[in-house]
A = this chain, B = another copy of it.
Amino acid sequence: MTEICREHEEHRDRIAAGRRRVPDREALLEVADFFDALGNPTRLKILYALTGAELCTCDLASIAELSVSAISHQLRILRDRKIISFRKEGKNVFYRLRDQHIVDLLSVALEHMAEGAPHG
């Protein structure tokens, strides 16, 4: 693997320059984890539901039409990736989006899809 294009010397320069643009491993994995968390229909349902109000685990399960357990697992992922935060009130745990960046991103992404791709 990773064999280099044979012919031209210019490849070497392009490769070196390209490599410089790639963030270091740690940052790269963080960004990947972040986008990966958003790249799942169930988690997106949770997140869009949370744009505009805080909701408890059980509400989210009802909205996503999945078991409370399944939602709790997904909420853990979103918490670990620092995309949502929570507050406990009695027996309930209320979740919310962690900051305005997330709200904006979800909104922009939806617009981008609408404009960029009429069907697929």
Contacts and interface: CB of A to CB of B under 8 A. Distances in A.
- Interface size bucket, A side? 35 or more
Contacts of A109: 31, 34-35
Given A39-B39, A82-B117, A1 B67 contact: yes
A53 B2 contact: no
Contacts of A51: 21
Q: Describe A's contact surface by its main secondary structure.
A: helix
A62 B2 contact: yes
A47 to B, nearest CB: 9
A4 B60 CA distance: 10
A87 interface: no
Contacts of A56: 5, 11
Interface string A42-53: 001100111111
Interface of A: 1-5, 11, 14-15, 17-19, 21-23, 27-41, 44-45, 48-53, 55-56, 58-63, 65-68, 70, 82, 92, 99, 101, 106, 109-110, 112-114, 116-117, 120
6 contacts: A4-B58, A22-B63, A27-B113, A31-B106, A34-B112, A99-B116
